[in-house]
Structure 1
Amino acid sequence: MRASIDMVLAPDDTAAGIGRTSDEPDEALVARVRAGDVRAYALVVRRYNRRLFRIARSILRDDDAAQDAMQEAYIRAYLHLDTFRAPGNFAAWLARITVNEALMRKRKDQRYTPLDAAGTDDERASGGSLAPASESPEASAGAGELRRLVEAAVDRLPEGFRTVFVLRAIEQLSVEETAACLGVPETTVKTRFHRARLLMQQALHAHVEAAGREAFDFAGPRCDRMVAVVLARLANLPGRR
């Protein structure tokens, strides 16, 4: 891997297709990077950006700090790519580097709680995307509010539960994959995920009940449009000249 990391940001990246995603398996991309094709690493970064952001964000609970941790994790992974043994779970390897980087940054902030100590069987249990074009503004706003409620509830989970919940429920990883990412036993993943789901249900229950009272609302622009349409049709009825 003699090529400079600066090549990833070379001016001709767009022309080289670096802005696109790839269907190549991780192992093929890793092999290309090891052979000196640094631009292939941009495809790795694009592929795992969302997952690594969610992982780092679940630990640091700050968008900027999570992005800093992601960036450092990508650089560390690149510099130590020769230590990755294929065939292997590259996604889990990269996730583990991100977890370690985020935890190290949290230690420096003196707010660190060891991941392995963040919930055992007997312990207490006590990122916007554009809406589809077919969604109405009201539906889009409602979806955005629901997302914010879920994100806030996730942020309030104990750290060990929070990271497991993000990987299992949001990233849809299996128990085995989550355990590999976090370096904890599968039984621990199952226990923490179960506890996290219970805590999420409790946290969101009151919001769901309140939202239910406002369900299927018909106010604002939709109400105005209906009034205008009805009045226009009434004005055109026979005998209404």
Structure 2
Amino acid sequence: MPALQNIPLASFPAEEASLIRSAVAGDPQAARQIIKIHNQRLYRLVRAVVRNNADAEDVLQEAYLKAFASLEGFQGQASLSTWLSRIALNTALMRLRGQKRLKRVSPARCLTEAAVIPFPLTSSTADPERVMAQRQLLHLVEEATDALPEAFRLVFVARVIEGLSVEETAALLDLPAATVKTRLHRARKLIRSRLEAQIGPVLMDAFPFAGVRCDRLTEAVITKLGLEK
């Protein structure tokens, strides 16, 4: 058992420092809370590398196992979020390199088609036509993101999807800030071009007024006209 009081977390918020110490001491609730706090960001970053939902979940589990095994040696030189993100990215990149080696050995291997990143949508009571339109649009964005070259994709996910600052993204990916800005600009340009080529068919279904909403308005008018049977 490490000397918990010696873990250098003085500069951390008290709540986070306490959480880390409790996790190091083997408290399952503390470990569970750390995972839940960071799950979405780490998943999206890992998913940006491996571009496959099943692989992303496997990589994320592996990354957490590595992180908790090393947590007692965490020096606090970066935030816990940045530290975990680096472990997750390194684990994902190792998985990707392994997949590329396997693909060279077995060129006929059929890779699973990448699925979409689960973005939060409206509640289950929302109009189904609108939910479908949202899903179509999000799917196009996800496809366009997946199609980016890896260097641009990582920057785009970190900056746009996760909302990290230029400085945070630069620290996470070990890049100069100027490089982050350049790659983000090029990523946005590539995504914009891809979406402009594909968005037309989706826009045909924009502002849907069918299904539940259509039925509700129709019946309201019928009622006001005194035509209901």
Helix, strand or coil at the partner of 1:215: coil
Larger deviation, residues 54-63 vs 140-149: 140-149
* 1:177 alignment partner, one of 165, 168, 191: 168
How far 1:169 sits from its partner (Å)? 0.3
Q: How many residues align?
A: 204
State the distance in 1 between where 2:177 and 2:96 align. 24
Report matched runs for 1:155-234 at 5 Å. 155-234=146-225
Aligned partners of 2:128 and 2:211 also within 8 Å: no
State the distance in 1 between where 2:99 and 2:125 align. 44
Q: Match of 1:27, as an amino acid?
A: A
Provide the identity percentage: 42
Q: Which residue pairs with 1:137 in the alignment?
A: 128
Q: Which residue pairs with 2:75 in the alignment?
A: 85
Aligned partners of 1:164 and 1:193 also within 8 Å: yes
Aligned partners of 1:161 and 1:192 also within 8 Å: yes
1:134-189 deviation per Cα after TM superposition (whole angstroms, max 9, x unaligned): 74333222222221111111111111111111110010011111122222222221
Larger deviation, residues 173-182 vs 138-147: 138-147
Q: Match of 2:146, as an amino acid?
A: D
State the distance in 2 between where 1:178 and 1:51 align. 13
Aligned partners of 1:155 and 1:162 also within 8 Å: yes
Aligned partners of 1:92 and 1:181 also within 8 Å: yes
Counterparts in 2 of 1:228 and 1:39: CA distance versus 1, 3 Å: closer
Q: Which residue pairs with 1:65 in the alignment?
A: 55
1:199-224 deviation per Cα after TM superposition (whole angstroms, max 9, x unaligned): 11111123444444443233334334
Unaligned residue ranges in structure 1 (runs of 5+)? 3-22, 113-126
Correspondence 1:146 to 2:137? yes
Report matched runs for 1:6-25 at 5 Å. 25=15
Correspondence 1:28 to 2:18? yes
Q: Which residue pairs with 1:124 in the alignment?
A: none
* 1:41 alignment partner, one of 31, 44, 62: 31
Q: Match of 1:75, as an amino acid?
A: L
State the distance in 2 between where 1:25 and 1:218 align. 48
Aligned partners of 1:164 and 1:189 also within 8 Å: yes
TM-score with structure 1 setting the length: 0.74
State the distance in 2 between where 1:69 and 1:185 align. 27
Q: Which residue pairs with 2:108 in the alignment?
A: none
State the distance in 2 between where 1:57 and 1:50 align. 10
Q: Match of 2:182, as an amino acid?
A: T
Q: Match of 1:137, as an amino acid?
A: P
Counterparts in 2 of 1:191 and 1:46: CA distance versus 1, 3 Å: same
Which is helix-richer, 1 or 2? 2
State the distance in 2 between where 1:216 and 1:233 align. 25
1:120-141 deviation per Cα after TM superposition (whole angstroms, max 9, x unaligned): xxxxxxx243514674333222
Unaligned residue ranges in structure 2 (runs of 5+)? 3-12, 103-116
Q: Which residue pairs with 1:52 in the alignment?
A: 42
State the distance in 2 between where 1:226 and 1:35 align. 60
Helix, strand or coil at the partner of 1:52: helix
